[in-house]
Amino acid sequence: MILSGLVLEFKLKRRKVIAEIVDAGDCRYFKKGTKFVLGGFTPTGLCDSAYIVLSRDARVLRYGGALPWAKEGKVLTRCPDPHGALWQLKLANDSDIEAATSAAGQRRYRYGKASSCDEVSACRGMERNCPFSLVGDSALSENIKQGVKNSAWLSTEAKRQNNDMKHYYRLKVALAACPNACTQPQVKDIGIIANVMPRQIGSSCNGCGCCEDVCQEEAIAVRDGMAELLPERCVGCGVCVRECPQEAIESDGVRYRILVGGTMGRHPRWGQELCVVDGSHVVQVVESFLDKIAQQAKPGERVADVVERIEVTRLRKEIFPDV
């Protein structure tokens, strides 16, 4: 009896769930009919914010649980974006898994595969496929990928690992088109986050309060008929700049925070800010950082370990000696 129960539990744990888009809504990243197999990890190509919502109900189905709102074994749930896709979840059979796996392979081929030594991921906003995107140059993502491939670090690792590197040793780079940071750049070797920081309120401000209404961080307030910035609360989403009807909020445009040394795993660490630069200097900084890490790294040492050992302040001085 105990043995049969263990076998049943094992079978339940091996179940997988198919997530299929039944209504794409305003999502320009996926289309109706797009499918993903949900097991224990985020499927390649599925954005993290969607997986967070889907995995909750998928886990219940995988382990044989029942959801009160399910109909005929199928569950409907929507992306966090209020205008996002509507998903249907159901337990997968072999044909479902085969079809979804084949489609996933085609997506990977279409969007390009990571090399054996690096994983460069970019959110859909980098191609202007997100209402929160601050980025106007979709070529930036490809330029960064090329910069990574040209770096001394990658060429050194490729030779050392003989193109057979374990995934957890690969250089991980994440690009985010806004501070929402869906690609989790804070826990990557290199994280790049676009932001627009309001600099000051111009004289054309009429105190309408529109900026105060749209700011989720309470980083701007109207006092005595004039908007006032509270920079210590601002995350640089740029919404107030975009929504001001008087165009009174001044900024320096889109700039990029470059974080380094982030990692997950047994000893997780947040990435530390190396610098903030405009778009024309991002690739140069990435290459310079990786070249410097290649010079400083000990055999078998990961990027995050090198950063922790020699510290970001020292890296900053060596990469930008004239600053």
Compute, in degrees rounded to 10, the torsion defined by CA atoms 160, 316, 181, 130.
-100
Return the pLDDT at 126.
Answer: 84
What residues form DSSP beta bridges with 250? 200
**pLDDT tens track, the chain, 323 positions:** 444 444 444 444 457 888 899 998 877 677 888 888 887 677 777 777 788 888 888 888 888 888 888 888 899 988 877 677 889 999 887 666 665 555 554 444 444 344 455 688 888 888 777 888 998 767 888 888 888 888 888 777 655 554 455 566 788 999 999 999 988 999 999 999 999 999 999 999 999 999 999 999 999 999 999 999 999 999 999 999 999 999 999 999 999 999 999 998 888 999 999 999 999 999 999 999 999 999 988 887 889 999 999 999 999 998 888 75
Q: Do domains 118-195+254-319 and 198-251 have the same CATH topology?
A: no
**pLDDT in the model for residue 163:** 47
- Tokens 């996933």 locate to 104
* DSSP three-state, residue 127: helix
- At 97 the pLDDT is 61
pTM: 0.65
Task: Return the domain boundaries, the chain.
Answer: 2-111, 118-195+254-319, 198-251
Q: What is the pLDDT at residue 230?
A: 94
- Residue (of 111, 121, 279, 280) closest to 190 by Cα position: 121
Domain 198-251 in CATH 3.30.70.20:
yes
Q: Within 10 Å of residue 285's Cβ, how many Cβ atoms?
A: 21
What pLDDT, on a 0 to 100 scale, did the predictor assign at position 114? 42
- Which residue is listed with tokens 């690792």? 157
Does the domain at residues 118-195+254-319 carry the CATH identifier 3.30.413.10? yes
